[in-house]
Structures are given as C-alpha cells and as structure tokens.
Amino acid sequence: KQEVTQIPAALSVPEGENLVLNCSFTDSAIYNLQWFRQDPGKGLTSLLLIQSSQREQTSGRLNASLDKSSGRSTLYIAASQPGDSATYLCAVGTDKLIFGTGTRLQVFP
Amino acid sequence: GAGVSQTPSNKVTEKGKYVELRCDPISGHTALYWYRQSLGQGPEFLIYFQGTGAADDSGLPNDRFFAVRPEGSVSTLKIQRTERGDSAVYLCASSLSTAMNTEAFFGQGTRLTVV
C-alpha cells in the first residue's frame, strides 16, 4: 500500500529565506508526482506536476525534484514571501492521487 | 467551465439525514475524483470515474456513501443516514484522463457539518 510522508509538518521562516519541503513515498511504481498549495478553508491549487520519467520541474520561484528510485521528492522555494504562507501537499499519482499530510508553512515579514 | 465547481460550499445537516454534494468538472475532462479531507490531514481518496463508470470505489468508507456520474460530466456524491464522523471537507477533482499523466484540478470543496 502506497504511503506518502511529508517532513516537516510545520515550518516558520523569515521572509527571503530559501527553503526545502520534503516528500517521501513507499512504492516507486508511480506515474507522476504533483505538488499542491492549500490556503486555509480553500481547495487545492496545483503548483507543479513531475512525470515519472522526469527529474525536475520549475515554475517561477518553485523547483520540484523527483527521485523515483529512492521514493523522494523535494519542493524548493526560493526567496520566500509572506504570500507563500499556506499548506503544501505532495501527491503521488497512479490511477489516483495519494496524498501526504502536508507541510504548513508560515513566512513572516 | 473555467474550473471545477462544487456546490454547495457549505452544508450543515442533522445526524441521520441524507445529503447530496455536487461536482461540475472542467469541460472535456473524462476523469473525476472525490476526496475527503479532515482537519489537519491530507485528502483521502473516495472514488473515481472514467466517463460514466466508477473505475475505483475502494475508498468509500461504507455503503452509506454512493456516487454517480450519469452523463459523464456532473457527479453527485450521496451520503445516507449521515453521522457526525462524516463531517469533513469533500473535494472533487478532474483531469483529462485517469492515466494520471495529466494534471488534476481541484474544486474549492464542500464543507459538510453533521450536527
């Protein structure tokens, strides 16, 4: 059974810091991995999708990497801003998405 | 449509009542997914559809939960004899296909409170 773990569960950093969020999964037989952002009381916003054949994807200040063989993905956020404060969820995709429990990020001015 | 639409956004119901939650996916998306999210947890898979048929309903917690997608577009999640433990945010997502090589897009969710 696929299990997805995210570390840390919560993170508080000052504005401007570069930070790394971690995601690990137990079964490497995945189609893709997707990172989402969730603001309080809101739905999920897709940030990045990495296909199983890819190693990384970039969008603006965000960079996500995937090491399928070791069951790991990282989301790198450069020059963090208070507007980045949210919960970040990773999900591994087979025929459906299996989610981790998320990392709650707070960026303070 | 521009995005996945879910209605209602909030639903409060009494224990034992029947509720229906609606999901309107992105136009042209053949795959539709339902998830349930409790406070502080990641979304938990319930069921997904490819077209009109339920391809995997292994996440439905018990037979009080049922979902339909009769015309391959709008889907309704139905919960009978609601219990307080059913209180959660119910999320719907759609994607171009179920191969999951395509990006999934989520709605804003329906917050269900059973009192």
- For chain A, say whether B115 makes contact (Cβ under 8 Å): no
Question: Which pLDDT does position B98 carry in this prediction?
Answer: 59
Chain A, residues 22-61, CB within 8 A of chain B, namely 31-32, 34, 36, 41-46, 49, 51
Q: Is A49 exposed, middle or buried (0-12, 13-18, 19+ CB in 10 A)?
A: buried
Determine, for residues A4 and B42 on separate chains, whether the beta-carbon distance falls below 8 Å: yes
Using the predicted structure, report yes or no on whether residue A107 has a pLDDT greater than 90.
yes
Using the predicted structure, report yes or no on whether residue A93 has a pLDDT greater than 70.
yes
Using the predicted structure, report yes or no on whether residue A23 has a pLDDT greater than 70.
yes
Using the predicted structure, report yes or no on whether residue A41 has a pLDDT greater than 60.
yes
Mean pLDDT score of chain B, rounded to an integer? 93
Mean pLDDT across B23-28:
95
Question: Which pLDDT does position B100 carry in this prediction?
Answer: 53
Distance in Å, alpha carbon of A24 to nearest chain B alpha carbon: 14
> Among A7-11, A13-17, A41-45, whose mean pLDDT is lowest?
A41-45
Question: Which pLDDT does position A39 carry in this prediction?
Answer: 94
Beta strand ranges found along chain B (DSSP E): 5-7, 10-13, 19-24, 31-37, 44-50, 53-56, 65-68, 75-79, 88-95, 105-106, 110-114
Question: Which pLDDT does position B2 carry in this prediction?
Answer: 78
Question: Which pLDDT does position A24 carry in this prediction?
Answer: 97
Using the predicted structure, report yes or no on whether residue B99 has a pLDDT greater than 70.
no
DSSP-derived 3-state class of residue B85:
helix
Give alpha helix (H) positions in A26-106. Answer: none
- For chain A, say whether B30 makes contact (Cβ under 8 Å): no
Using the predicted structure, report yes or no on whether residue A42 has a pLDDT greater than 60.
yes
